Amino acid sequence: MSLCYAYYPGCSGLGTSLEYDISTRALCRNLGIELVDIPDWNCCGSTPAHAVDHLLSACLVGRNLGIADDMAEARELDGIITPCPSCLKNLKTTQYRLADPEFHRKVELVVGRPLRADLPIKSVLQVVVEDLGLQALAQLVKAPLAGLKVVPYYGCIMVRPPRIMQFDDPENPMALDNLLTELGAEVLPFPLKTDCCGASLGTTRKDVIAKLSGRILDAAEEAGADAIVTACPLCQMNLDMRQSQINKANHSGHNMPVFYYSQLAGLAAGQGETSTMLDKLCVSPRPLLAALAGHTGEGA
Amino acid sequence: MSSSPKAFDTEFIAEVQRESEQNLALCYQCGNCTAGCPVSFAYDYPVNQIMRLVQTGRKQEALSSHAIWLCASCETCTTRCPNDIDVARVMDVLRHMARRENIVSEKAVGAFWKAFLESVEKHGRVFELGLMANYVGKTGRMFTDVDLAPMALRKGKLGLKAHDIKKLAEIRGIFDRYREQK
């Protein structure tokens, strides 16, 4: 089976989550999933757009959906995919609301073109787990992550609201759990797997982040995890880049690496630094990986 | 506000219903939304009380609440509502209305969203460093995240250059036509 998707990278992939974008592209390449970037894509507006106006949000998304329509004219596509849950929710919410003819007409007027917007829209995680299947992933694993104890952290909106996202269980998703198990890691039960990290309040209300992301870090440590694994750029930034701020606010001493699942897939596939980009993580995973390598007697 | 606020503003109830496409009468105050809400600790009104303020037409209290600006859009309330009310969408609509009436109880949040959308309009994509500079300019919060800047720059996580899209005119057109529609 050969899969080809229109790829929507999202803005953070150009900056704060560069390592997520690069390791995701590498993972897809290894799995034989062809990604064609949506040419000249624009920002979906993220939370600020839908918090300010639903029409504006849908129109920013609509331009990208329109370009994807054109791509599907030129060649067969299996759908649109993105690594970022926030972009995903905006893409899927817009598609859902465009089913209303009156709203559809308004959006077309503002975007300035007709829109079909009928391609399936999924996260990269969903495509890997559902469309391709974990067996395909198992074939990539050359250096299983044996001895690595992780908690899977999905964030809120990868699976919520279920009516829109149509992926896994909204309260106890297992996609990431199963994927990490396939990579050879020891996946610990994590009751906070869909709890909120504080999202975009990081800049404006640090007290909220210290409390919510702090609780996730505390629980991960209590569970005995070596690391947290996430699929969301904003969650990753709050837990990793802001970990020092959180420690200061909460008088805690966390030193917990926060990986993207795609980075761990690259590690398990025996890939080097160019695609895993472990150096981009603020809390260094080096001591952890060195300890693991020492334990198993394998090179990191 | 031109006149004194009405105690029971039926027009407000109808407006929230229309814009959110939700039947607010279905809320029977079970409290499930509040039980799941992660930001309740920072709210002035928990989310079930916001729903009640809307049901009882208390426009002024609802729109001037801090809660509507602190909602993280995590969708837990919507997911768990036993009556299928899209509570997060109601929170969105209350923010839209508050903004239109120039009531922004969490100034920093309002300024951040504004700076974010200005970045999108200017570049077609978010330029993170420019966004932060604009936000600092709007709020005077000079020391916001200044502790993170050296790390972010060293890691190459804060691009020094914007990644403008090619067809910026299309984005400007979308913003212009959107404003005309309003």
- When the pLDDT of each residue in chain B is averaged and rounded to a whole number, the result is 93
Residue pair B22/B85 in contact by the 8 Å Cβ criterion: yes
Please tell me which of the candidates A46, A112, A198 has its beta carbon nearest to residue B72: A198
pTM score: 0.95
Which residues on chain A are in Cβ contact (under 8 Å) with B78? Answer: 160-161
Q: Would the pLDDT of B4 be above 80?
A: no
Residue B176, C-beta contacts closer than 8 angstroms, at least 6 positions apart: none
pLDDT at A215: 98
Whole-number Å distance between alpha carbons of A238 and A168: 24
ipTM of the complex as predicted: 0.94
Report the chain A residue with the minimal C-alpha distance to residue B77.
Answer: A161
- R_g (Cα) of chain A, nearest Å: 19
pLDDT digits (tens, 9 = 90+) for B137-157: 888 876 678 888 888 888 888
Whole-number Å distance between alpha carbons of B83 and B30: 10
pLDDT at B26: 98
pLDDT at A296: 61
Confidence of residue A1 (pLDDT cuts 50, 70, 90): low
pLDDT at B159: 77
Cβ-defined contact of A156 to B74 (cutoff 8 Å): yes
Give yes or no for B145 touching A (CB within 8 A): yes
Helix or strand or coil: residue A5?
A: strand
pLDDT digits (tens, 9 = 90+) for A13-50: 998 999 999 999 999 999 999 999 999 999 999 999 99
Give yes or no for A209 touching B (CB within 8 A): no
Give yes or no for B35 touching A (CB within 8 A): no
DSSP H or E run through A7: strand A3-7
Which residues on chain A are in Cβ contact (under 8 Å) with B111? Answer: 204
| Lowest mean pLDDT, pick from A128-132, A287-291, B94-98, B132-136 | B132-136
Angle, CA A164 vertex, CA A208 and CA A47 arms, to 5°? 35
Helix or strand or coil: residue B166?
A: coil
pLDDT digits (tens, 9 = 90+) for A272-284: 888 999 999 999 9
Report the chain A residue with the minimal C-alpha distance to residue B146.
Answer: A203
Whole-number Å distance between alpha carbons of B144 and A56: 28
Which residue do the tokens 């939370």 mark? A47
Question: What is the arrangement of strands in the sheet containing A3-7, beginning at the earlier edge strand?
Answer: A33-37, A3-7, A79-82, A121-123
Q: Would the pLDDT of A300 be above 60?
A: no
Helix or strand or coil: residue B162?
A: coil
Cβ-defined contact of A60 to B120 (cutoff 8 Å): yes
Which residue do the tokens 């331009």 mark? A63
Give the mean pLDDT of B35-45: 98
Hey, what amino acid is at A248? Answer: K
Give the mean pLDDT of B46-71: 98
**Number of H helices and number of E strands within chain A?**
15, 8
